[in-house]
Amino acid sequence: MQVRNNLKVIELAGVSDAPHLEELLVLHAQAFPEHPHVLDELRENARIPREQEKCVLHQVLCLVDDIPAGFVVVHSNRDRKVGLIHFLAVAPEFQGREFGGTKVSQFLVEHAVELVALDLGASCLGVVAESEPALLPSWALWGFSPLPITYSEPFHGMHWRDHEPLEFFDMTLVGYNMSAHSLTELGRKGASAFLLDHYDLPPDHAVVQRATG
């Protein structure tokens, strides 16, 4: 547990009996109603060990005076040496509010970057996230830059096989560079971690090859 400026974070990956898990699930359902299938993934992440062979799982709830204020879901990919921010959201009543000069969103992003750095050590290339165009200014404030690759995300995420044919929608991959030689390198590694490792897409698909290089 980490506390800063009245903001407290609780790790809920690998902790199946935590009473706060349902609070995180409620926030996720409110912020991402178009992704109901992810709730089962988050429950599974709580049930299984946080330390996996290929990645380290984190799903972190932020509390303000024991009230759920926001959350972030991030995975540290051991093979690609990058962290993936999958979901980030702040409860409406806490959006825009500052605690000791820090907003909840900034606090959660900084915490996610710290977790990835601890998981991957000196070999960590950086942290990446998928972004809609409207959110790019916010990512810039948090130190993330658009990565110079053409990137698309599959409809239905990890469950694309249940909704074939496989279709994509355009997104921007943003990254926080920690030791990658270039933003292009970080982009290729991040795209591979998302598309090949997380979504388990076919590596010979043209959209995947275009992003991963």
In the predicted model, what is the mean pLDDT of residues 23-35? 95
Instruction: Identify the DSSP state of 193.
Output: I
Whole-number percent of the chain with pLDDT over 70: 98
Whole-number percent of the chain with pLDDT over 90: 88
What is the rounded distance in angstroms from the CA atom of residue 107 to the CA atom of residue 93? 16
- For the entire predicted model, the pTM comes to 0.95
Q: Kindly report, residue by residue over 72-81, the tens digit of the pLDDT.
A: 999 999 999 9
DSSP string, the chain: -EEETTEEEEE-TT-TT-TTHHHHHHHHHHH-TT-TTHHHHHHHHHHS-SB-SSEEEEEEEEEETTEEEEEEEEEEETTTTEEEEEEEEE-GGGTT-EETTEEHHHHHHHHHHHHHHHHHGGG--EEEEEE-GGGHHHHHHTT-EE-SS-EEEETTGGGGGGGPSP-EEEEEEEEEESS-SSHHHHHHHHHIIIIIIIS---TTSHHHHHHH-
What is the rounded distance in angstroms from the CA atom of residue 182 to the CA atom of residue 176? 11
| Alpha-carbon torsion, ordered 119, 180, 128, 170, to 10 deg | -150
DSSP string, 63-83: EETTEEEEEEEEEEETTTTEE
In the predicted model, what is the mean pLDDT of residues 197-205? 97
Residue tagged 């990658």 (tokens): 180
Task: Say whether 175 sits in a helix, a strand or coil.
Answer: strand
Q: Kindly report, residue by residue over 162-186, the tens digit of the pLDDT.
A: 988 999 999 999 999 999 999 999 9
Contact 107, 94 (CB under 8 A): no
CATH 3.40.630.30 residue ranges of the chain are 1-122
Q: Residue 102: is its pLDDT beyond 60?
A: yes
pLDDT for 93: 96
* CATH entry, 1-122, from 1.10.3720.10, 3.40.630.30, 3.40.1010.10, 3.90.1150.10: 3.40.630.30
Q: Kindly report, residue by residue over 35-72, the tens digit of the pLDDT.
A: 898 999 999 999 999 999 999 999 999 999 999 999 99
Supply 38's token pair. 């992810």
pLDDT for 138: 96
At 1, is the pLDDT very low, low, confident or very high (cuts 50, 70, 90)? low
Report which of 111, 116, 171, 176 is spatially closest to residue 140, judged by C-alpha positions: 176
Rg of the chain over Cα atoms, rounded to whole angstroms, equals 16
